[in-house]
Amino acid sequence: MLERREPVLSVRDLKVHFAVKEGNAWPWTPARALKAVNGISFDLYPGETLGVVGESGCGKSTLARALLNLNPATSGSVVWMGKEMAGAPDADWMAVRKDIQMIFQDPLASLDPRMTVAQIIGEPLRTHHPELSAAEVMVRVRRIMGRVGLTEQQVNRYPHEFSGGQCQRIGIARALILEPKLIVCDEPVSALDVSIQAQIINLLKELQQELGLALIFIAHDLAVVKHISHRIMVMYLGCAMELAHKKALYNDPRHPYTCALLSAIPIPDPDLERGKVIQLLQGDLPSPLSPPSGCVFRTRCPKAQAKCTTDTPLLKEVSPMTHVACWYPM
């Protein structure tokens, strides 16, 4: 159990809405609000890893980008090290950038094709530590390249000369080189083979222990999330369904959506796998342009009742390690 200290990051009722106009709408028709993130709250402590899971389109990546002001929040509070950052000017965000870094989901889109690997990985150092000489920057670049599985002979190559997995390693090295206090990992191992996945996950855990690093780890692979996370938040349609310690969530899930996600995880034992009951959800994921009233999960929930249509549940504590947004938890 983690010692409860002051959180490095505190998020309250964070919302990210995008104004969207339909293609056949009249020019004077008001835009509709696409509610990508709709009221997320959590605290993150030094040395803690918060896993974020959910199906595609639930707002995980938008949440990650909002925490770094890459997608400005519509409303809500983002407090970093005791300082309110929501709506802060660019100069204030620039001052904390060296402490908050991100590993992006698409490595090719986040690498400049005109820059060499040495220039890409060393750019954060040149931005935040201009006092370092070129030789000192190169020494640090070569050191971090070795830690993520790249060789020194690749230092002068360009992104197009690397595979997708190697490009992802370049992005990871770029985030790690400043030794930040928080790294937001948006599916950082999705493009890597299994052996390198284990290497990168273990590297992140080692750095976390050495530096007291906090991580927000977004992934679809529930096994990877269980391995690296201390607590896990389950998202659905921009909302948090469950926030729990990993042992509590995997051993005793309380939200119907969490139960459905966990039932889809394959079991290595063939006998147990054949006897397993998968909880199939009815229908499709609703559009964030017009989410259901009340509980957003009610249209697919096997336990939905009349109250779920009118009243929106908030995260509430149902056990010492579990918070659930459900009127009728499991």
Instruction: Convert 111-128 into a string of H (helix), E (strand) and C (coil).
Output: CCCCCCHHHHHHHHHHHH
pLDDT at 4 over 70: no
Q: What is the pairing mode between strands 9-20 and 83-84?
A: unpaired
Mean pLDDT of 164-192: 87
Is 132 contained in some domain? no
pLDDT of residue 236: 93
> For residues 62 and 36, is the Cβ–Cβ distance under 8 A?
yes
pLDDT of residue 235: 94
Q: What is the pairing mode between strands 214-218 and 182-186?
A: parallel
Mean pLDDT of 28-37: 88
> For residues 169 and 110, is the Cβ–Cβ distance under 8 A?
no
What is the extent of the structural domain holding 267?
247-330
Is 203 contained in some domain? no
DSSP state at residue 68: T
* Residue 2: band (very low, low, confident or very high) from pLDDT cuts 50, 70, 90: very low
Max CA pair span of the chain: 67
Is 221 contained in some domain? no
Give me the torsion for CA of 18, 24, 29, 31, rounded to 10°.
Answer: 0
Q: How far apart (Å, rounded) are the C-alpha atoms in residues 37 and 40? A: 7
* Residue 24: band (very low, low, confident or very high) from pLDDT cuts 50, 70, 90: confident
Is 266 contained in some domain? yes
* CB contact set of 167 (below 8 Å; sequence gap of 6+): 107, 108, 111, 159, 191
CA 64 remoteness from chain centre: 5
Is 280 contained in some domain? yes
Q: If phi over 0 gives left and psi between -120 and 50 gives alpha, with beta otherwise, what is residue 284?
A: beta
pLDDT at 1 over 80: no
pLDDT of residue 118: 95
pLDDT at 79 over 60: yes
DSSP state at residue 260: H
Is 309 contained in some domain? yes
Is 296 contained in some domain? yes
243-288 residue pLDDT tens? 999 999 999 999 999 998 888 888 888 887 787 778 778 878 888 8
Beta bridge partners of 16: 37
> For residues 97 and 129, is the Cβ–Cβ distance under 8 A?
no
Is 254 contained in some domain? yes
pTM, whole model, 2 decimals? Answer: 0.88
Domain count, the chain: 1
